[in-house]
Every structure is written in structure tokens, then in C-alpha cells.
Amino acid sequence: MTPATLQLEKDFLTYVNKMTAYNEALGLIFWDLRTGAPKKAIEQRSQVIGTLSAELFELSTSDQMASFIAGLSAHKDKLSEVTVKTLEECQKEYDRNKKIPAEEYREYKILQSKAESVWEEAKEAGDFSLLAPYLEKLVETNRRFTHYWGYEGNPYNTLLDLFEPGMTVDILDSVFTKVQEAIVPLVKKIQTKQQPDTSFLHAHFPEEAQKKFSLEMLKRLGFDFEAGRLDEAVHPFATGLNPGDVRVTTRYNEHDFKEAIFGTIHECGHALYEQNVSEKLTGTPLSTGTSMGIHESQSLFFENFVGRNPKFWEHNYDLLKEFSSGQFDSVPIEDFVRSINESKPSLIRVDADELTYCLHIIIRYEIEKGLINGDIKVMDLPKIWNEKYEEYLGIRPENDAEGVLQDVHWSGGAFGYFPSYALGYIYAAQLKKAMLKDLPDYEELLADGNFKAVKDWMVKHVHQYGKLKKPLDIITDSTGEGLNPQYLIDYLTEKYSELYSL
């Protein structure tokens, strides 16, 4: 490598560090807005967000960036792996941002922000027709963008790639059909069965006690409190500002402790991922989860494969009893475990249980794929939505607020995002299967509260790589095969057949 290239690599990494710094500042601002910034802060804070975002956009599309890409791409074989992957990330973003005419991009940003506030009104009023014209424009713009960006096979592939690099319609069609064909009959059978008693789950559980229990749960699962914190948020989330500062949030419902505890365990999964990305990636865009789907595999793994596993509660049920106000004292652990694994079709995605969740996602996938390909018209959405819910889940929304208007994603222009949730489940089941080979005593580890071995396995096979590896490489390298929904299907079939004596 010539001294000039060496210097260029150095300058590039310094430049990228600067972009990472802007991202981190923005991350902190968003965390603050969602956890406790005073109401009147928002107007001026939006200016700050605008300024920093504009600077970041400028950095990602500058002539300087273009010359880094041009100058370094020719020498990839001589650059460090971190530089090469960082360069590829930067190039992807550069292309994505540069290929859209600036004026169209600006208009789209305005449209997005308007549509999100119209969505709030429309949901409030339960009136899809308010949102429809905005949604039409959003779909149309996204279709146009896929042409600017280019696509292989199907325009929707390009949108999928934004959230799950490498994912395609062909793969998803095949995978989701298998999942749906396996789950729908299970769901239907369960509806003929007796549901468990869950009344004790709704006894009063004071917020302060839930908070203490959540903190203890995070500690037990290996969350590093020197590198993170727990706060409250209306819409819980986790955010990795840097590997030394990963923040989770939860919310406390005093009459349904499940929200806080399973929410906390879910976000803990995301957080463990962010806390354990290798330090050598710090300051680069690689220092975060590799995709939405892999991220979700971590949160869902911890929420369901750990948190809803009966063995997990063998270790933690006493702690729950200690922190709650006597509501579980006369409930045998079997009944408790049964109650937190109740499966019951719901209209609302975020309230869905482990078994039915994927069906909510598949409905959304089929619809958004149709929208982007022009097979579905925006005006027909409520009808199609309701029919699909009836078909897959056996229930029908009574209004659009509990139907097509329930999620913010499409109003924000996020088409291609939903599949990640279901992919997360599928990945999680695959990882669990692979983990069992290394940790055959998995169930005993949970029963003994030895979560460290489980976490360490994830760090070794998933977390440490950040974005150094693509999602499918993570899965292939750690499980020995590509995306395969069979493990999830087997897991759900076995678990729910036993729970409901099917």
C-alpha cells in the first residue's frame, strides 16, 4: 500500500468517526425526547435535530466521501477488514442518498412528517380515509425510489434490503407460506380448547416494585449497568449510543405486570447485542446490530426462548413473589407458567402472543408487497386487512383504529420493515437449535439461573460481529444452514400442542 493510500485510509476513518459522533449525539437527543424531555423542549430541539441531521447527510454525500470511496475501493485487498466493511456501508448510504434528486428527497421528508401526524388524527378518529391520500403518495414515492435505486427481480426487494440486507421476496414467500400453513391450523385448534386462568396476573403490582424487579432481572440476564441504564417510556425501546452506553426502557402497568417484565427482557435482548459488539468497531458504522431481523432475533430469543421458558421461572419465580404483593403466593409455578404462555388471537400486533405474532407480520408483508408492486390499491386496504385477519386469525376488526391504522410504520414510509419481526423469530429458533449443540444442558442452565453461558454463546456467534457480518452470514456461520423456518414451526407446534393438549 502506498503512503498516499495509507493516509487516505486514516483520513477516511477519522471522517467516519466524526459521522459516528453526530449519530451518537442524535441518539442521545432521541432517547431524551422519548424518556422525559419537557414538553416545551420539543420545538427548539427539532431545530437541533434538523441541524445535526443535515450535517450528517452532508457528510455522507459530500465530494470528500465520493473521493474516499473512489480512492479506497481500488485497494480493498490491502485495507483492514474494518475499513473495507465501513467503506461498503458508506458507499451504500452514499448511493442511496445520491440517487434521489435532492428536491424529491426534501419533499419526501416533509410528506413523511405530515403523514405521521395525519396518522395520529386518523387513528384517533378511526377513519382511514384521512390517511389514504398521504399513504398513496408515500407508496408512489417509494415505488419511484426503488426505480432510482434499481432492483433485482422485484422492486420490493430493494426496500427489504434497507432493513434486512440480502432478503428477497422469493425467500420470504417460501418461508412465510410454510410458517402460515403450520401456524393457522394450530391457532384454530387452540380456539376450541380451555384457556388457562390468568386472573392473578392482573392483581395490583405497584410500579416501584415492578421497577425493582425489572432492574434485578436485567442484572440476572447479564445487562451491564456500568454500560447502560433503565428508564421509562410510553413506547419502550432500546438504544445503543455506543457499546459503553446502551439504554433500555420499559413501561409499568400496575394491573398487568407482564408488560414491564417481558418488555424489559425483550429490550434486554437488544441491549445485550449492542453492549457486546466488539470494541474494535467502536467509532465506525459497524458498531451496531447487523440488521433489524438479527436484532429482533436477540430480543425475541430472550423474551420467549428464555423468559417464557418454564425453567427460567424455576429460578426466578421466588424473586417475583418477593417483589410482588402476595398475588402469586398461592399460585403453583405450573399455573403461573401456563398463564404467561396463553395464546389467544388479538387484533393488535403489539399485544400478540408468541404463537400468533408471525401471522400479524405475514399479513402486513403480503399487503406491503402488493402495494409496492401495484397489485393492491391503497383505497382497498381496510377491506383486505380485515379479510386477512379473519382468514388467518379468525377475528375481524370492528374499525380501522384496531385494524389497518394500528401501526405507525407505513405512515413513516417504512415499507419493508415488518418482515424483520418475523425473521427475528425464525432466526431466534435457529440460533436456539444451534446453541443446544454447544449447550445441551440449556434447560438446566436456565433452571440454575446460569444465563451467562447463554449470553456468552450469543456474544460469540452474533453480538461481537456488529455489522462486520451480513445477517445471513451470521445465521449460516452459527447454525450451519441458511434461513430455515422449520425450527420455529417445530418449536411452536411442540410447545403449544403440549400446553393445550392438542
Interacting residue ranges for a second copy, rule: CB under 8 A: 17-18, 20-22, 24-25, 28-29, 32, 36-45, 47-48, 50-52, 55, 224-229, 241-245, 282-283
Cβ partners under 8 Å of residue 148, min gap 6? 99, 100
In angstroms, give the least distance from the CB of 216 to a second copy.
17
In angstroms, give the least distance from the CB of 410 to a second copy.
30
At what angle are helices 381-393 and 357-373 packed, to 10 degrees? 150
User: How would you list the strands of the sheet with 228-232, edge to edge?
Assistant: 228-232, 245-250, 238-242
In angstroms, give the least distance from the CB of 18 to a second copy.
5
Closest by Cα among 8, 19, 87 to 283: 19
Please check whether residue 79 is in contact with residue 87, taking contact to mean a CB–CB distance below 8 angstroms. yes
Which set of grid coordinates corresponds to residue 189? Answer: 385448534
In angstroms, give the least distance from the CB of 449 to a second copy.
24
Please check whether residue 419 is in contact with residue 363, taking contact to mean a CB–CB distance below 8 angstroms. no
Cβ partners under 8 Å of residue 149, min gap 6? 95, 96, 99, 158
Catalytic hit among 9, 164, 259, 267: 267
In angstroms, give the least distance from the CB of 42 to a second copy.
7
Please check whether residue 449 is in contact with residue 316, taking contact to mean a CB–CB distance below 8 angstroms. yes
Classified as helix, coil or strand, 70 is helix
Cβ partners under 8 Å of residue 19, min gap 6? 56, 59, 60, 285
Judged by CB, which is closer to a second copy: 104, or 279? Answer: 279
In angstroms, give the least distance from the CB of 226 to a second copy.
5
Please check whether residue 162 is in contact with residue 473, taking contact to mean a CB–CB distance below 8 angstroms. no
Tell me the binding residues for Zn(2+): 266, 270, 296
Judged by CB, which is closer to a second copy: 41, or 118? Answer: 41
Classified as helix, coil or strand, 231 is strand
Judged by CB, which is closer to a second copy: 145, or 223? Answer: 223
At what angle are helices 292-300 and 257-275 packed, to 10 degrees? 130
Residue 55 catalytic? no
Amino acid at 113: S
Please check whether residue 363 is in contact with residue 385, taking contact to mean a CB–CB distance below 8 angstroms. yes
H-type helices in 36-168, by residue range?
42-61, 63-73, 81-98, 102-125, 128-149, 155-163
Pairing mode, strands 245-250 and 238-242: antiparallel
CA dihedral in degrees (331, 252, 23, 291; nearest 10)? 30
In angstroms, give the least distance from the CB of 36 to a second copy.
6
Cβ partners under 8 Å of residue 61, min gap 6? 94, 97, 98
Length of the chain: 502
DSSP 249: E
Rounded Cα–Cα distance for residues 275 and 262 (Å): 20
Rounded Cα–Cα distance for residues 214 and 209 (Å): 9
Judged by CB, which is closer to a second copy: 225, or 383? Answer: 225
In angstroms, give the least distance from the CB of 225 to a second copy.
7
Judged by CB, which is closer to a second copy: 133, or 244? Answer: 244
Judged by CB, which is closer to a second copy: 245, or 407? Answer: 245
| Residue that the C-alpha cell 393492491 belongs to | 376
The residues with which 250 forms a beta bridge, in sequence order, are 232
Judged by CB, which is closer to a second copy: 229, or 311? Answer: 229
The catalytic site residues sit at 267
